[in-house]
Amino acid sequence: MELKRVVVTGLGALTPLGNTVGETWENLVNGVSGAGLITRFDATKFKTKFACEVKGFKAEDHMDRKEARKLDLFAQYAIVASRQAIVDSGLDLETVDKDMVGVVWGAGIGGLITFQQEVASYAGGDGTPRFNPFFIPKMIADIAPGHISIEHGFHGPNYGVVSACASSTQAIIDAMTLIRLGKANVIVTGGSEATIAESGIGGFNSAQALSTNNEEFESASRPFCKTRDGFVMGEGAASLVLEEYEHAKARGARIYAEVVGGGMSADAHHLTAPHPEGLGAKLVMRNALKDAEMKPEEIDYVNVHGTSTPLGDIAETKAILDVFGDHAYNLNISSTKSMTGHLLGAAGALEAMVAILSVVNDIVPPTINLKELDENLDPKLNFTFHKAQKRVVNAALSNTFGFGGHNASVIVKKLVD
């Protein structure tokens, strides 16, 4: 069968750099760090005392207070970002066929804050089970797409995707596939995460994954830098409205870009560490290129997973050199996690949005915070250090890799009729 084309018609974002797409993009291009000392709890006794928090968010500004109490923070973020994307898309919710509108959403963990609060309350009591009746529906990772569909009456495919830090990239790929196959005309997709809590910071500290550079917290997320010592926790949400091309064209929609390919793979190597030679990363990028029917030379920009971990940055760079060959030196490469921190399950959606806006605006956001390039990395590669660079971006690839060895890559490009 002939696959249908898939385009992006709406974007929404709630991030450490801004509570809208426009604010987030402006700060990304300007190289602003979203890191700060943790305000959500007293982090005095924790190895890491900083994170990239969403700033100025109040649930009551967006929903009834009673309704907000039924939602974990990650679901609140999902609802707000998806509303933005739906409004941005210009969809007429009165006339659109809601049986053909779905929601596919990614979250690596889900309601961690709710889980922590409920268990702590029980453990601090006398053993009598007193749990919030909304405990389970607040906690489960798939509840975010459920809430989005209920709010808007979308009856199409609806589910959550959980694959650690690859979750929302895989959600985008699933959404693309459903539209390609004619299972839906429109899919609201993306991801959200809210894990800046004692259990989130403490757990990742125990895994030795987080930076502990409390003296230089604003610049602690430093991908490719010799002095990097782990990732910086981020939070928030990003949402994309994906739409079948003819459906979008028929209603006169503004189209940002076309989603042309997605790849998935597994490292099959280690619970938390990447394959040292980047085998899974090589495979996932090749799978995405094959799916898009594109040659490596057609990619202009790679938004790397680039978490600022000692092993991950090296493995991913090896994979890029292997997949792109000499063309790797013509690429712009950047890690926007240097500014946003790592949004875990929401990272893929945010970074896909960055790739889309790079294609739209012909600007590549920078990798900030470099002090000294890791000697294991090729200095001839263009990591877009310090400042955004203007260049024609016809096509961009975004990588995400998750604990468990889950890898996902998505490719977007300028629409050509």
Active site residues: 165, 305, 342
Region of residue 118 (left: phi > 0; alpha: psi -120 to 50; beta: else): alpha
Give the separation between CA 346 and CA 315, rounded to whole angstroms. Answer: 22
State both tokens at 11. 């974007």
Residue 219 is classified by DSSP as G
The amino acid at residue 213 is N
H helix or E strand, kind and range, residue 187: strand 186-193
Residue 403 CB neighbours (<10 A): 17
DSSP state of 98: G
Pair 187, 156: CB distance under 8 Å: yes
Contact 7, 259 (CB under 8 A): yes
- What whole-number distance in Å separates Cα of residue 145 and Cα of residue 142? 6
Residues 155, 175, 89, 252, Cα dihedral to 10°? -100
Residue type, 202: G
Residue 118's alpha-carbon distances to 115, 123, 125, 132, 193, in angstroms, are 5, 9, 11, 7, 18
Task: Give the whole-angstrom CA distance, residue 342 versus residue 244.
Answer: 30
Per-residue b or e along 24-36, where b marks 16 or more CB atoms closer than 10 Å to that residue's CB:
bbebbbebbbbbe
Place of tokens 């005392």: 49
* Cα gap 342→221, rounded to integer Å: 9
CB within 8 Å of 247: residues ≥ 6 apart: 185, 186
CA distance linking residue 395 with residue 288, whole number of Å: 12
Residue 311 has a CB neighbour count (10 Å cut-off) of 14
